[in-house]
Amino acid sequence: QVTLKESGPVLVKPTETLTLTCTVSGFSLSNARMGVSWIRQPPGKALEWLAHIFSNDEKSYSTSLKSRLTISKDTSKSQVVLTMTNMDPVDTATYYCARIRTHHYGMDVWGQGTTVTVSS
Protein backbone atom coordinates (compact mmCIF):
# COMPACT_ATOMS: atom_id res chain seq x y z
CA GLN A 1 0.00 0.00 0.00
CA VAL A 2 1.37 3.40 -1.04
CA THR A 3 1.13 6.13 1.57
CA LEU A 4 2.57 9.60 2.10
CA LYS A 5 2.49 11.44 5.40
CA GLU A 6 3.37 15.08 6.01
CA SER A 7 4.86 16.28 9.27
CA GLY A 8 6.00 19.62 10.58
CA PRO A 9 5.05 22.51 12.84
CA VAL A 10 1.45 23.57 13.21
CA LEU A 11 2.37 27.16 13.98
CA VAL A 12 5.24 29.31 12.75
CA LYS A 13 6.00 32.97 13.32
CA PRO A 14 6.35 35.53 10.54
CA THR A 15 9.88 35.63 9.06
CA GLU A 16 10.65 32.12 10.35
CA THR A 17 11.60 29.20 8.11
CA LEU A 18 9.12 26.34 7.68
CA THR A 19 10.46 22.81 7.35
CA LEU A 20 8.06 20.07 6.27
CA THR A 21 8.83 16.39 5.89
CA CYS A 22 7.00 13.90 3.69
CA THR A 23 7.58 10.28 4.66
CA VAL A 24 6.62 7.80 1.98
CA SER A 25 5.99 4.07 2.08
CA GLY A 26 5.05 1.47 -0.50
CA PHE A 27 7.39 2.88 -3.14
CA SER A 28 10.99 3.97 -3.40
CA LEU A 29 12.27 7.49 -4.01
CA SER A 30 14.82 5.85 -6.33
CA ASN A 31 12.06 4.70 -8.70
CA ALA A 32 12.57 6.54 -11.99
CA ARG A 33 8.87 6.46 -12.80
CA MET A 34 7.82 8.63 -9.91
CA GLY A 35 8.68 11.61 -7.79
CA VAL A 36 7.18 13.67 -4.97
CA SER A 37 5.44 17.02 -5.22
CA TRP A 38 4.48 19.58 -2.60
CA ILE A 39 1.20 21.43 -3.01
CA ARG A 40 -0.55 23.87 -0.70
CA GLN A 41 -4.09 25.13 -0.28
CA PRO A 42 -4.98 28.27 1.69
CA PRO A 43 -8.30 28.05 3.52
CA GLY A 44 -11.16 28.17 1.02
CA LYS A 45 -8.85 28.63 -1.95
CA ALA A 46 -7.46 26.62 -4.83
CA LEU A 47 -4.53 24.24 -4.96
CA GLU A 48 -1.08 25.72 -5.60
CA TRP A 49 1.88 23.60 -6.72
CA LEU A 50 5.11 24.43 -4.91
CA ALA A 51 7.86 22.05 -6.01
CA HIS A 52 8.73 18.52 -7.00
CA ILE A 53 11.73 16.21 -6.98
CA PHE A 54 12.50 13.06 -8.92
CA SER A 55 14.72 10.03 -8.45
CA ASN A 56 17.62 11.58 -10.39
CA ASP A 57 17.45 14.57 -8.03
CA GLU A 58 15.88 16.76 -10.71
CA LYS A 59 14.05 19.57 -8.92
CA SER A 60 11.51 22.16 -10.05
CA TYR A 61 9.99 25.08 -8.21
CA SER A 62 7.03 27.39 -8.58
CA THR A 63 8.28 30.51 -10.33
CA SER A 64 6.58 32.83 -7.85
CA LEU A 65 8.06 31.10 -4.79
CA LYS A 66 11.36 29.83 -6.15
CA SER A 67 13.52 32.17 -4.09
CA ARG A 68 12.01 30.89 -0.85
CA LEU A 69 11.81 27.13 -1.48
CA THR A 70 14.24 24.26 -1.23
CA ILE A 71 13.29 20.65 -1.82
CA SER A 72 15.50 17.66 -1.06
CA LYS A 73 15.22 13.95 -0.47
CA ASP A 74 16.80 11.23 1.61
CA THR A 75 16.16 8.02 -0.26
CA SER A 76 17.42 5.81 2.58
CA LYS A 77 14.89 7.36 4.94
CA SER A 78 12.12 7.55 2.31
CA GLN A 79 11.70 11.23 3.09
CA VAL A 80 11.29 14.40 1.07
CA VAL A 81 11.87 17.71 2.83
CA LEU A 82 10.57 21.11 1.81
CA THR A 83 11.81 24.32 3.38
CA MET A 84 10.17 27.68 2.89
CA THR A 85 11.91 30.77 4.20
CA ASN A 86 10.55 34.09 5.40
CA MET A 87 7.07 32.84 6.25
CA ASP A 88 4.19 35.30 6.15
CA PRO A 89 0.55 35.06 7.27
CA VAL A 90 -0.48 34.63 3.62
CA ASP A 91 1.41 31.33 3.68
CA THR A 92 -1.16 29.91 6.09
CA ALA A 93 -2.45 26.81 4.34
CA THR A 94 -2.78 23.06 4.29
CA TYR A 95 0.38 21.62 2.81
CA TYR A 96 0.19 18.33 0.93
CA CYS A 97 2.79 16.02 -0.50
CA ALA A 98 1.82 13.71 -3.34
CA ARG A 99 3.40 11.10 -5.56
CA ILE A 100 3.83 12.32 -9.12
CA ARG A 101 4.13 9.89 -12.01
CA THR A 102 6.63 10.73 -14.73
CA HIS A 103 4.46 8.97 -17.31
CA HIS A 104 1.80 11.67 -17.20
CA TYR A 105 2.82 14.08 -14.40
CA GLY A 106 -0.42 13.51 -12.55
CA MET A 107 -0.39 13.02 -8.79
CA ASP A 108 -1.92 9.65 -8.03
CA VAL A 109 -1.46 9.32 -4.26
CA TRP A 110 -1.73 12.17 -1.77
CA GLY A 111 -0.92 12.58 1.88
CA GLN A 112 -3.62 13.72 4.27
CA GLY A 113 -2.10 17.20 4.48
CA THR A 114 -0.78 19.22 7.36
CA THR A 115 -2.16 22.60 8.35
CA VAL A 116 0.35 25.37 8.97
CA THR A 117 -0.66 28.68 10.51
CA VAL A 118 1.64 31.69 10.33
CA SER A 119 1.03 34.05 13.20
CA SER A 120 2.94 35.93 15.84
Partner 1 sequence: EIVLTQSPGTLSLSPGERATLSCRASQSVSSSYLAWYQQKPGQAPRLLIYGASSRATGIPDRFSGSGSGTDFTLTISRLEPEDFAVYYCQQYGSSPQLTFGGGTKVEIK
Residues that bind partner 1 (CB under 8 A): 37, 39, 46-49, 52, 60, 62-63, 96, 98, 101, 104-108, 110-113
Cβ of residue 7: shortest distance to partner 1, in angstroms? 15
- Closer CB to partner 1, 57 or 108, in the complex: 108
Spatial CB neighbours of 114, under 8 Å, sequence gap ≥ 6: 6, 7, 8, 10, 20, 94, 95, 96
Residue 99 amino acid letter: R
When the beta carbons of 11 and 47 are compared against partner 1, the nearer one is 47
> With 0-12 CB in 10 A as exposed, 13-18 as middle and 19+ as buried, what is 23?
middle
Provide the minimum distance between the beta carbon of 41 and partner 1 in the complex, in angstroms, as a whole number.
9
